[in-house]
Amino acid sequence: MLRTTAAIAAGKLTRAVAKRRGGGSALPGLVAERIDPKILGHALGALPGGIVVVSGTNGKTTTTRMLVAVLRAHGRTVFTNPTGSNFTRGVISALLSEVGLRGRPVADIAVLELDEAHALKFADALTPTHALLLNVARDQLDRFAEIDHTAKLLASLAARTSTGVVINRDDSFVARSADGVTSGVTIDYFGVDASIAHRLPELMEQDTRLDDDYVVPPPGADDVLLRPVDERSLEILIGVDGAGGVLGPLELKQRGLAAMINATAASAMARQLLGSGFDPATAASALSAVTAPFGRGEVIDAGGSPLELVLVKNPAGFTVALSTYGSTPVATMIAINDNYADGRDVSWLYDVSFESLRERGVALTSGVRAFDMALRLEYDEVPVAAVEPDLDRALERFLAERAGAPARIFCTYTAMMSLRRNLAARYDLPAFGEEAS
Amino acid sequence: MSMSKGEIHVVHLYPREMSIYGDLGNTRTMTARLARHGYTPVLHQHHPGAPFPDQAHLVLGGGGQDSGQARVEADLERIAGRLGDLAEGGTPMLMICGMYQLFGNAFITVEGKRLPGLGILDVTTQGNAKRMIGPVVLSTDFGDVVGYENHSGSTRLGSGQAPFGSVRSGFGNNGEDRTEGARTGNVFGSYLHGPILPSNPRFADALLSYAVPLATGAAFEPEDLDDAFADEARTRQVRRLLS
């Protein structure tokens, strides 16, 4: 315990210094972890409601926000890692701001967003009681090399979870991880209603591991299913045709099918955690109040007219984003960087169809790989008005040319960070890490 | 629109199993460039178990995961005779990453198991624990070529086998002898994703110049295409990686 106290004191000090210097969010966690490698277990091990890990390729940040909102609406106090720093050290850093020197956060339950590799590292330190497995898509193959490997990481997370898992029934990579779950651990499923099953291929990776194609089983009585009503509103059904209850119809602040599926996943996990205490009406109103995280479909008030900032990081995500926004074409800019956090290989742009942008065209491509993006668009016969690799100059020009009309920027991670910093200075927005959770 | 200069049949091998790193972009590039050059592309997606198309003037294949590779092996054995005849007859082929390995003599797994390949290219690949990942610049017969490699197999050329290019930045076949890919006649193997053809239009058009006479009996008559985006994208990568 003395060691934990020392670790927390050192971490808190680092955090104070880093904050004054405008530094990153992981360093305080690193310092604390060095002094007490078991700090996570000491700090989170005793939470009565358990430790929930949210993992998968797409939608972790949004789903975590939604799950936290639903749990809080049911009166639970929740510890979470809200800034999207989904590595173990990010979790410890988040902890440092909420714990006293004894190391116990004042919370009933922890809900943590962790990427696939770090979810397992986390499980080495502390066994998760619950795991919510979203999807497996191609993302940063530099780091994970193959999606089969990513699927294995999620399967071992499921196998190491002690109490309950919630699994995407439509994603064959994730659904197959149910086989490895320890007996006695509850398994629940979320997915989409039969009425929109035809849209799944645009969301899912092709699974070529086995000769038998994965067939989604008929839904069970406890499956939680998405049924969109129209582009903006949705219902979440518990069991076939909502025999066990219905959330909504409700509208989300974030647009599109991906956000709707995230809301469905969050509802399924909340229902498993809360049991008979889960109230569909409370959950629905909590979900409809959740704002989009930074850069994930966030709408910025750019001098009186809306500017949407949409993070794209893999083919499935970009495809969904394009279909989400396709019905409301506006001036569009695409910014592609190829730093480590973006994924250094830009080949994936050729697995996305950009035809929906053809009619309106793209005003600007930007980022380190601006010309590669322009070339990609050319092969889909999408007109590109200008190419400006420098992000600040591109933004300046884009904002000037759109003359107060609504606009949208699709961007990779580091391009988003840079653009958002520029926009924050321009329009006096809160900076990263200061986001109200 | 003037009359088509002729129909060119393009075969994409195993688009489902073997095109995980954007290699579909090579096929898209070839059909688009054929159309821009005034030809009519006819695309055949060849899936395992399906009959191989009667006409094939250009054959393309991509990279896959180990599981995808395992799923196409039986079919590849089935169509091996046809592919061998086409290669012999001068049909241009571009095989990337996993399909490049399968066009070689053999793949030796980390455990030492020997998996025979088609033997169209005289190369042998040894499975490796370490992956070779990163951006690449090559010098080739078609000028500078840029792309992105991501492979664990380490490939050695047979004694008389020509490489596709020499490595100026990156690993290439094995990270040691500075060779990348292989070329026999009009059959090319390479580890380069990116995908390779969009940003290297000179190489793309060279493949078309081999394909067209097989289809039409006449030499390739290219139009003057605007490749400004491709040239800028490529020269920027070359500058960035060699500086």
The string of pLDDT tens digits covering residues B33-68 is: 999 999 999 999 999 999 999 999 999 999 887 777
Half-sphere exposure of B121 (CA within 13 A, CB side): 30
Q: Give contacts of A347 with chain B, Cβ < 8 Å.
A: 21-23, 25, 148, 193-195
How does DSSP assign A209-234, residue by residue?
SSSSPP-PPPP-TT-EEEEESSSSEE
Q: Do B67 and A208 touch (CB under 8 A)?
A: yes
Q: Do B23 and A347 touch (CB under 8 A)?
A: yes
Per-residue pLDDT, A9: 73
Count, residues in chain A: 437
Q: Do B20 and A138 touch (CB under 8 A)?
A: yes
Q: Where in chain A is the domain with CATH 3.90.190.20?
A: 296-427
Per-residue pLDDT, A140: 53
Half-sphere exposure of A368 (CA within 13 A, CB side): 19
Q: Do B233 and A211 touch (CB under 8 A)?
A: no
Per-residue pLDDT, A22: 47
Average pLDDT for residues A72-77, to the nearest whole number?
Answer: 96
Per-residue pLDDT, A213: 63
Q: How far apart are CA A172 and CA A170, in angstroms?
A: 6
CA distances from B188 to A258, B18, B163, B165 (A): 40, 16, 9, 10
Tell me: ipTM over 0.90: yes
pLDDT band at A433; cut points 50, 70, 90:
very low
Per-residue pLDDT, A25: 57
Q: How far apart are CA B13 and CA A311, in angstroms?
A: 33
Percentage of chain A with pLDDT > 70?
Answer: 81
Q: Give contacts of A314 with chain B, Cβ < 8 Å.
A: none
DSSP bridge pairs for B145: B138
Catalytic sites of B, residue numbers: 97, 193
Q: Answer whether residue A345 shows pLDDT above 80.
A: yes
pLDDT band at A435; cut points 50, 70, 90:
very low
Contact B164, B138 (CB under 8 A): yes
Contact A118, A91 (CB under 8 A): no
The residue whose two tokens read 């518990």 is: A238
Amino acid in the structure at residue B74 = A
Per-residue pLDDT, A319: 84
Nearest-neighbour CA in chain B from A344: distance (Å): 7
Q: Which residue in A142, A375, A389 is closest to B199 by CB distance? A: A375
Q: Do A347 and B199 touch (CB under 8 A)?
A: no
Percentage of chain B with pLDDT > 70?
Answer: 99
- The residues of A whose Cβ lies within 8 A of any Cβ of B are 138, 141-142, 145-148, 206, 208-211, 344-351, 369, 371-372, 374-376, 378-379, 384, 387, 389
Per-residue pLDDT, A209: 47
pLDDT band at A23; cut points 50, 70, 90:
very low
Q: Which residue of A has its CA nearest to B31?
A: A379
Token digits of residue B207: 């493949």
Average pLDDT for residues A77-97, to the nearest whole number?
Answer: 72
A89 vs B74, more confident:
B74
Provide CB contacts within 8 A for A98, sequence distance 6+. Answer: A79, A105, A106, A107
Asked if the bond preceding B195 is cis, omega within 30° of 0, the reply is yes
Q: Answer whether residue A114 shows pLDDT above 50.
A: yes
Per-residue pLDDT, A20: 54
Q: Give contacts of A376 with chain B, Cβ < 8 Å.
A: 25, 198
Q: How far apart are CA A12 and CA A32, in angstroms?
A: 8
CATH code: domain of residue B235: 3.40.50.880
Residue B2 lies in a domain: no
How far is residue A54 CA from its own chain's centroid?
9
Average pLDDT for residues B11-32, to the nearest whole number?
Answer: 91
pLDDT band at A178; cut points 50, 70, 90:
confident
Average pLDDT for residues A388-412, to the nearest whole number?
Answer: 93
Which residue in B12, B20, B26, B132 has the most chain A C-beta atoms within 10 A of its own C-beta, making it the best mutation to test that interface? B20
Per-residue pLDDT, A430: 67
Residues of chain B numbered 212-231 and touching chain A (CB < 8 Å): 229-230
Identify the CA nearest to B86 among candidates B44, B128, B49. Answer: B44
Per-residue pLDDT, B48: 94
Which residue in B229, B232, B237, B241 has the most chain A C-beta atoms within 10 A of its own C-beta, making it the best mutation to test that interface? B229
Per mean pLDDT, which range of A280-284, A362-366, B113-117 is the poorest? B113-117
Residue B1 lies in a domain: no
Residue B173 lies in a domain: yes
Q: Which fold has domain A2-289?
A: UDP-N-acetylmuramoyl-L-alanine:D-glutamate ligase (3.40.1190)
Q: Which fold has domain A296-427?
A: Protein-Tyrosine Phosphatase; Chain A (3.90.190)
CA distances from A270 to A70, A190, A255, B6 (A): 7, 12, 21, 61
Q: Which residue in A345, A375, A379 is closest to B148 by CB distance? A: A345
Interface contacts A/B by beta carbons within 8 Å: 87
Q: How many domains does the structure of chain B reveal?
A: 1
Per-residue pLDDT, B173: 97
Q: Answer whether residue B72 shows pLDDT above 70.
A: yes
Q: Which residue in A141, A206, A372 is closest to B199 by CB distance? A: A372
Burial class of B76 by CB neighbour count within 10 A (0 to 12, 13 to 18, 19+): buried
Which residue in A136, A345, A368 has the most chain B C-beta atoms within 10 A of its own C-beta, making it the best mutation to test that interface? A345
Nearest-neighbour CA in chain A from B23: distance (Å): 8
Q: Domain residues for B125?
A: 7-242
Provide CB contacts within 8 A for A12, sequence distance 6+. Answer: A28, A96
Percentage of chain B with pLDDT > 90?
Answer: 85
Per mean pLDDT, which range of A31-45, A360-374, B185-199 is the poorest? A31-45
Most confident of A230-244, B126-140, B193-207: B193-207
Contact A161, A129 (CB under 8 A): yes
Most confident of A196-210, A220-234, B186-200: B186-200
- The phi and psi torsions of B172 (rounded to 5 degrees) equal 80, -150
Percentage of chain A with pLDDT > 90?
Answer: 44
Identify the CA nearest to B125 among candidates B141, B152, B106. Answer: B106
Per-residue pLDDT, A27: 65
Q: How far apart are CA A169 and CA A127, in angstroms?
A: 24
Q: Give contacts of B199 with chain A, Cβ < 8 Å.
A: 372, 375
Q: What is the CA radius of gyration of chain B?
A: 17
B42 vs B243, more confident:
B42
Average pLDDT for residues A349-374, to the nearest whole number?
Answer: 95
Per-residue pLDDT, A297: 72
Q: How far apart are CA A114 and CA A80, in angstroms?
A: 11
Q: Answer whether residue A434 shows pLDDT above 50.
A: no
Q: Which residue in B24, B133, B230 is closest to A142 by CB distance? A: B133
Buried residues in B211-243 as b, exposed as e (16+ CB within 10 A): bbebbbeeebebeeeebebbbbbbebbbeeeee
Q: Give contacts of B17 with chain A, Cβ < 8 Å.
A: 208
* Mean model confidence pLDDT for chain B: 94
A193 vs A370, more confident:
A370
pLDDT band at A54; cut points 50, 70, 90:
very high
Average pLDDT for residues B140-155, to the nearest whole number?
Answer: 96
Residue B105 lies in a domain: yes
Per-residue pLDDT, A142: 52
Q: Where in chain A is the domain with CATH 3.40.1190.10?
A: 2-289
Interaxial angle between packed helices A315-325 and A257-274, expressed in degrees from 0 to 180 and rounded to the nearest 10: 110
Q: Which residue in A208, A350, A369 is closest to B22 by CB distance? A: A350
